[in-house]
Amino acid sequence: MSALDKAVEAARARRARVVFPELGEDARIDAAAERLRAEGLAEPLAVAEPSEAQLAALVAARGLKEALARRMLSRPLIRAAAMVAAGEADAMVAGAVTATKKVIEAASLAIGPAEGVTTASSFFLMRFPDGREMIFADCGLNVDPDAAQLADIARASEVTARALLGSARVALLSFSTGSSGSGASVDKVRVAAEATGFTGPVQGDAALNPRVAGAKGLGQGDANVLVFPDLDAGNIAYKLAQELAGAQALGPILQGFRRPVCDLSRGATVDDIVAATVVTLALA
């Protein structure tokens, strides 16, 4: 059974509450919310009025003064994130018409980072025609992460892979495998790999091909999580996988927060929104 099929089963059994701050603003969101409800996958919610629970969650997350927190709750996106933090919703899905920066800001302010993580990141669940499923990160958020941020991305991606794929075999990618190359980007990946214990720096073929991995002496060549050194590499890779290999890319879905948040692509279809919501709920 695929990761998406498992997520669908889990969503149908749980029927979690998902707040859509763009509900009523975009026809795709409205249609996706209706499908989620009709198919018993989730209970879509519009943004609620400010509550004392939301206020308390916002104050607790950032140590804000109550007056400032009340003013911030006047913003629907922050109020939606506060609903998740307060337990009034199980997840937030936004981004169809809202800039990624604003979605991240709302989640950071109201929900906050997961334990042991200081860098929020994003991932795609990549589904290939041959049945393979992989996690690609970070392909949508961090432009040029340093070694510590790259380590955070790798750790969060491991948690994501265990939740969605059942196991995590993480490879931190580079143009160099082991010590075959040098330079600032290789050093960054090497430090991140040493900090996390994951395979890296490793080239793409060695990460995915056991024969090549054996020849180059690094890893098993069976990675199901690919962590890219920067946004250039990650974004290019996932789009090439879509166009040349016919892969389906579900996301970008945010990771590294205390509670699940999805930042939709601006070009997301209704099918994409439904699938991304279900995958997001699998992380709840």
Please, which pLDDT band fits residue 10 given cuts at 50, 70 and 90? confident
With respect to CATH, is domain 1-112+257-284 assigned 3.40.50.2000? no
Q: How far apart are CA 215 and CA 137, in angstroms?
A: 26
Least confident of 9-18, 176-185, 235-244: 176-185
* pLDDT at 66 > cutoff 90: no
Within this chain, domains 1-112+257-284 and 124-249 share the same CATH topology: yes
| Helices 147-165 and 184-196, axial angle in degrees (round to 10) | 50
Quick one: pLDDT at residue 187? 92
Report the percent of the chain where pLDDT is more than 90. 69
Dihedral angle sign, alpha carbons of residues 159, 161, 166, 167:
negative
Residue 181 has pLDDT above 80, yes or no: no
- Topology given in CATH for the domain delimited by 124-249: Rossmann fold (3.40.50)
Bridge partners of 170?
A: 225
Q: What is the pLDDT of residue 47?
A: 93
Q: Which residue did the predictor score with more confidence, 128 or 117? A: 128
Question: pLDDT tens, 67-107?
Answer: 888 888 999 999 999 999 999 999 999 998 998 889 999 99
The span from the first CA to the last CA of the chain, in angstroms, equals 20
Q: What is the pLDDT of residue 240?
A: 96
148-152 mean pLDDT:
95
Q: Beta strands 91-94 and 42-45: pairing type? A: unpaired
The pTM (predicted TM-score) of the whole model is 0.86
Residue 203 has pLDDT above 90, yes or no: yes
List the chain domain ranges: 1-112+257-284, 124-249
Question: In this structure, what token pair is assigned to residue 35?
Answer: 């499908």
Q: Please report which helix (H) or strand (E) contains residue 187, including its range.
A: helix 184-196
Give 270: exposed, middle or buried? Use CB within 10 Å, 0-12, 13-18, 19+.
Answer: middle
With a cut of 80, say whether residue 61 has pLDDT above it: no
Mean of pLDDT over the chain: 91
What is the Cα 116 distance to its own chain's centre? 16
* Pairing of the two strands 16-19 and 91-94: parallel
Work out the average pLDDT over 34-38.
96
Predicted local confidence at residue 22, as pLDDT: 95
